[in-house]
Amino acid sequence: MQAYTSLLKDFDGQPTGSLASEISTNVKMCLWFRNHEKQRKYSVGEVHSCLSMLVSIAKDHNSPDGVGYLKWVKTFFAGKMPTNIVDILDYLFQNEV
């Protein structure tokens, strides 16, 4: 979450080798590729909005071990998100409480 917060303050001026720098570089490469392929262009405001949303999601999925957000991302992309209240509560107690 610190990397996202740092990017919100200064997207271009991150220390080389930091996580924020890696994220910034990869986002820029993706945006350049989309522009090169004549796909939709994204504004600075849209990128900023996405970063703000990621900070919000990371705060919502906090955990004592500090990796609740990463567990949520893994679960989401694996297609294993809980679908009923019992499974949701079980997930929350195992990963975020």
Same domain, 32 and 69: no
Same domain, 53 and 85: no
**Domain that residue 13 falls in:** 1-60
Residues 6+ apart with CB under 8 A from 41: 31, 34, 35
Q: How far apart are the first and last CA of the chain?
A: 18
Segment 23-72, tens digit of pLDDT:
888 888 888 888 888 887 788 888 888 888 877 877 777 788 877 878 88
- Describe the crossing of helices 85-95 and 68-77 by its angle, rounded to 10 degrees: 140
Same domain, 32 and 15: yes
Same domain, 2 and 45: yes
Q: Provide the number of structural domains found in the chain.
A: 2
Same domain, 20 and 49: yes
The string of DSSP letters for 3-39 reads HHHHHHH-SS-PPTTSHHHHHHHHHHHHHHHHHHTT-
Same domain, 55 and 91: no
Segment 61-89, tens digit of pLDDT:
778 887 787 888 888 888 888 999 999 89
pTM of the model: 0.57
Same domain, 24 and 68: no
Same domain, 75 and 32: no
